[in-house]
Amino acid sequence: MKTTRLIIVAVGGQGNLLASRILGEASLLSGIPIRMSEIHGMAQRGGVVESALVFGDAESTIISDGEADVLVGFEPSETLRALNKCNSGTTVITNLSPLPPFTVAIGKGIYPDLGMLQELIRAKTKRLIAFDATALAKEAGNVMSVNMVLLGALLQTGILPLSADNVKEAITVRTGKFAEFNIKAFELGFSSAKLS
Amino acid sequence: MHKLLTDNPGNKMLLLGNEAISRGAIEAGLAFAATYPGTPSSEISLNFFKISQESDLYFEYSTNEKVALEVAAAAANSGVRSMCIMKHVGLNVAADALMTLAYVGVKGGLVIITADDPFMFSSQNEQDNRYYGKLSGLPVIEPSSVKEAKEMMPYAFDLSEELQEPVLFRTTTRINHSTAIVELGKIRKRVPKGSFKKDPFNYVTVPAVSRKLHVKLLKNIEKASHLSDNSIYNFIEGKGEFGIVCNGVSYIYVSDAVKDLNLEDKVRILRIGFSHPMPAKLIKTFLKDCKKVLVVEEGEPYMEEAVKAFAQEEGLTLSIRGKGEDLFSRLYEFDPAMVRKCIAKFFDAASPSTKTVDLSNVPELPQRPPNLCAGCSHRATFYAVKKAAEGLETIYPTDIGCYTLGFLPPLGMGDFLICMGSSVGTSCGFSKITDNKVISFIGDSTFFHSGIPGLVNAVFNNHNFTLVILDNGITAMTGHQPNPGVDMSNFNLSGYGRIVIEDVVKALGVQHITVIRPYRIKKSIEAIKEAINFKGVSVIISKEMCTLYSKSLKKPAGKPFYISEKCKNHRNCVNDLACPAFFIKDNRVHIDPVMCAGCSVCAQICPENAILPLKDRK
């Protein structure tokens, strides 16, 4: 089976690990081989959380520079920071709602301009899908469901060997009483990616 | 029921490496476990903690790794299958127990988890603990995948009982924190009660006994060497003339690379999963079939040294390489592309061109280092100490925990750190040899772990410094585990003791002890000033529950604050505290009401009194 490599980057607290877990559960449901790896020691301390998901026949659980087929960023500057994982054939999906790090607030760094950020990613990769996932999460009724909006957009691209229904089933199993909001968020992300 | 107790062999589950390890131990009939938490091993114990609350598995968070190993050693020598879980540096703490436990051995299986951390994602060093196998003479088992981590656990217990020795089970972060689909096996029945048969001439390690036991250990190593040669976890794949010897996650990178490079017919792989003692016979046979050999291992050239020595014994002169400037590094972790590149280079194979994008015109991005949480009491304490010590030449030895992050600007509270408990010991040295005022920081759990002996030393040798004990009521950094000072009713558990830090410090003979509530900034500064003016050892206990933990217990939280129109943009709040709840918009400081924990520290330091509780907003 063809190998598909996905990187998800987010800021601690944005639900990256849950999103990865849902894709893992969806793979288990549909019999797709999957291995994933995450660095989450600092997840609750506002640091960057990166997950690597490898679908298909490869054995490795991490993804080297230039080898991601898809990059999903929950925060725009973090998407740009992870560009080293991409190549000219990579599809990039990014939230456009910034969460500037505190280093910006204390004058130790400049947050990148969002227009320039999108141009850079677009020029270096195959395709960029960029939209305000945070606004869609609010529309779905829960600002915490940014992760689900982006999962929706990711599934719309058809790059993963998973169906949207498998993922929705995993969301339902995994997120209990929030499932309704989460499915709505997933669907908003799905249709939004269709338009971009 | 805890999902890892599911008794449904053949069922498939998506498991984190640490869950797979816990499950493997449950399948092996584990009945007794002790630990001190440490990333990347922490989730293994967290599972046992939960499982022990609904089964006859005994589990405890011990004071430190040495104590944990002693606790487990006693259980294992009473015939019960036991486990002791720690991060790699934890084994340094437990090493004193380990070295002689290797002489004494065990009766029931004892597996010691050492979770190494190449690249130091959350550690102070990247030591390679396979050498502990060599140093102690104990067997070392190393999985290459999540699936294997589960499978090898019953094997490790059987091995321990066969050799009557503890077994070191060495993982790396990419095993602990990877996730994969794992098939469940049968659960062996736990035997939760043991009995100890007295045998002082084999158990009490006076010199005459140990001289005999060392002979026994060497015989055991010989037996283990034979088992290693025949282990199903040391195996050869492929028939080519190019040899690759690999272990752990390197094996899966090698497997992928050999496929990617179309070298399947040319390469012969020796995978080592039982790495101490190294399988001498198997390696010698392997070498005879190879033209040249590449050793692929993260960390130190542990296998490379052994393979070269075996080649010498056989009089073989083939090229054997591994570490070197042109090949693999002893630094950090490996990745699939890097392993592929080195294999292609060493065996002269065509390597696919690198596909990375040109990053030269990407602007420098603002760093996002981890930060103390919004409302973290450590921030308040650091601020108060900094204010109290203004004008003094200070040295701030610090310790291991969330509060280590206080060394970052703008707080800048942390000047020296080597290991758990080092804040106290190094304070003794710094205060003696310099004229600076020494103020050191240690958390509650770290104080119990290894801070107390340093404080005893300080009182006895009459040193002159101030120790600030940051008591947030929980072991926060590793994910909110209990420690001897924790109120266990927070976990809905009874039957535990509770040790009050203030009483301990008093009993040690510290003459100046102050307890502060760090959110009360002015009072805290006054109290700290007094403590640092004291000549001798003074201790400040800064008490405030970890804000994340408090939230998880659903304790009443403070109301969020906002910045009113009175703000004149001094920005003391942002520049001195750097709380992540602040953000700048249109050149004005704002507070994110969702993040704000209502600690009120910023409101207390605002020169214009412009920061107000949100409920008062007009």
Confidence grade of residue A103 (pLDDT, cut at 50, 70, 90): confident
CA–CA gap between residue A131 and residue B159 (Å, rounded)? 56
Q: What does the pLDDT read at residue A46? A: 75
- Does A104 sit within 8 Å of B366, measured CB to CB? yes
Closest residue of chain A to B588, computed from CA coordinates: A105
CA–CA gap between residue A176 and residue B252 (Å, rounded)? 36
- Does B410 sit within 8 Å of A45, measured CB to CB? no
Residue numbers in chain B where pLDDT is lower than 50 = 618
Q: What does the pLDDT read at residue B617? A: 57
Q: What does the pLDDT read at residue A143? A: 87
Q: How far is A190 from chain B (nearest CA, A)?
A: 25
Identify the residue among A102, A122, A143 best suited for mutation to test binding to B, counting B beta carbons within 10 A and taking the highest: A102
DSSP chain A: ---EEEEEEEETTS-HHHHHHHHHHHHHHHT--EEEEEE-TTGGGT-EEEEEEEESS---SS--TT--SEEEESSHHHHHHGGGG--TT-EEEEE------HHHHTTS--PPPHHHHHHHHHHHSSEEEEE-HHHHHHHHT-GGGHHHHHHHHHHHTT-SSS-HHHHHHHHHHHHGGGHHHHHHHHHHHHHHHHH-
Q: How far is CA B344 from CA B64, B386, B594, in A?
A: 45, 55, 52
Residue A47 has pLDDT above 90, yes or no: no
Task: Specify the pTM.
Answer: 0.96
Kindly give, in sequence order, each residue whose CB lies less than 8 Å from that of residue B308, ignoring residues fewer than 6 positions away: B320
Q: What does the pLDDT read at residue A43? A: 55
Kindly give, in sequence order, each residue whose CB lies less than 8 Å from that of residue B86, ignoring residues fewer than 6 positions away: B35, B36, B38, B41, B65, B68, B93, B94, B112, B113, B114, B115
Q: How far is B333 from chain A (nearest CA, A)?
A: 11
Cβ contact B130:B186 at 8 Å? no
- Does A61 sit within 8 Å of B174, measured CB to CB? yes
> Least CB-CB distance to B121: which of A12, A41, A65?
A41
* Two structure tokens written together for B308: 């070269």
> Least CB-CB distance to A46: which of B178, B356, B371?
B371
Q: Is B423 helix (H, G, I), strand (E, B) or coil?
A: helix
Closest residue of chain A to B146, computed from CA coordinates: A35
Closest residue of chain A to B548, computed from CA coordinates: A44
Q: How many CB atoms lie within 10 A of CB B175?
A: 26
For chain B, domain boundaries: 3-229, 234-346, 377-552, 561-616
Residues of B within 8 A of A110 (CB-CB) are 363, 366
- Does A37 sit within 8 Å of B146, measured CB to CB? no
Q: How far is A92 from chain B (nearest CA, A)?
A: 13
Q: How far is B223 from chain A (nearest CA, A)?
A: 33
**Quick one: average pLDDT of A43-47?**
69
Residues of B within 8 A of A84 (CB-CB) are 356-357, 359
Q: Is B578 helix (H, G, I), strand (E, B) or coil?
A: coil
Is the peptide bond prior to B40 cis by the omega test (within 30 degrees of 0)? Answer: yes
CATH top class, domain B377-552 = alpha beta
Kindly give, in sequence order, each residue whose CB lies less than 8 Å from that of residue A5, ignoring residues fewer than 6 positions away: A52, A53, A54, A55, A58, A63, A67, A68, A69, A70
CA–CA gap between residue B588 and residue B250 (Å, rounded)? 51
CATH number reported for the structural domain that contains residue A107 in this entry? 3.40.920.10
Kindly give, in sequence order, each residue whose CB lies less than 8 Å from that of residue B173, ignoring residues fewer than 6 positions away: A39, B40, B115, B116, B117, B118, B119, B121, B333
Average pLDDT, chain A: 93
Closest CA to B445 of B414, B419, B476, B467: B476
Q: How far is B525 from chain A (nearest CA, A)?
A: 24
Residues of B within 8 A of A36 (CB-CB) are 178-180
The backbone torsions φ and ψ at residue B490, rounded to the nearest 5 degrees and listed phi first, read: -60, -25
Identify the residue among B356, B475, B480 best suited for mutation to test binding to A, counting A beta carbons within 10 A and taking the highest: B356
**Residue holding tokens 């790059």?**
A159
State the burial class of residue B556 (Cβ atoms within 10 Å of its Cβ: 0-12, 13-18, 19+). exposed
Is the peptide bond prior to B410 cis by the omega test (within 30 degrees of 0)? Answer: yes
Cβ contact B304:B323 at 8 Å? yes
Q: What does the pLDDT read at residue B194? A: 96
CATH topology of domain B234-346: Rossmann fold (3.40.50)
**B276 beta partners:** B140
Does CATH number 3.30.70.20 belong to domain B561-616?
yes
Q: Is the ipTM of this complex over 0.85?
A: yes
Q: What does the pLDDT read at residue B197? A: 98
Q: What does the pLDDT read at residue A102? A: 85
Confidence grade of residue A105 (pLDDT, cut at 50, 70, 90): confident
Counted residue by residue, chain B has a size of 618
- Does A46 sit within 8 Å of B373, measured CB to CB? yes
- Does A125 sit within 8 Å of B368, measured CB to CB? no
Q: What does the pLDDT read at residue A41? A: 54
The backbone torsions φ and ψ at residue A67, rounded to the nearest 5 degrees and listed phi first, read: -115, 10
CA–CA gap between residue B103 and residue B129 (Å, rounded)? 19
- Does A104 sit within 8 Å of B356, measured CB to CB? no
- Does B355 sit within 8 Å of A67, measured CB to CB? yes
pLDDT digits (tens, 9 = 90+) for A129-157: 999 999 999 999 988 999 999 999 999 99
Query: Would strands B82-87 and B234-237 be described as parallel, antiparallel, or unpaired?
Result: unpaired
Identify the residue among A64, A120, A127, A167 best suited for mutation to test binding to B, counting B beta carbons within 10 A and taking the highest: A64
- Does B362 sit within 8 Å of A80, measured CB to CB? yes
Q: In this complex, how many residue pairs, one in chain A and one in chain B, have their CB atoms less than 8 Å apart?
A: 168
Domains B234-346 and B377-552 share a fold: yes
Identify the residue among A5, A29, A37, A91 best suited for mutation to test binding to B, counting B beta carbons within 10 A and taking the highest: A37
- Does B177 sit within 8 Å of A40, measured CB to CB? yes
- Does A66 sit within 8 Å of B578, measured CB to CB? no
> Least CB-CB distance to B174: which of A62, A87, A108?
A62
The backbone torsions φ and ψ at residue B364, rounded to the nearest 5 degrees and listed phi first, read: -65, 130
CA–CA gap between residue B252 and residue B142 (Å, rounded)? 13
Does CATH number 3.20.10.10 belong to domain B3-229?
no
**Quick one: average pLDDT of A118-125?**
97
Return the CA Rg of chain A: 16
**Residue holding tokens 């910045």?**
B563
* Two structure tokens written together for B175: 């095993």
Q: Which domain holds residue A103?
A: 4-195
CA–CA gap between residue A119 and residue B119 (Å, rounded)? 33
Residues of A within 8 A of B364 (CB-CB) are 109
- Does B357 sit within 8 Å of A88, measured CB to CB? yes
- Does B252 sit within 8 Å of A34, measured CB to CB? no
Q: Largest Cα–Cα distance in chain B?
A: 88
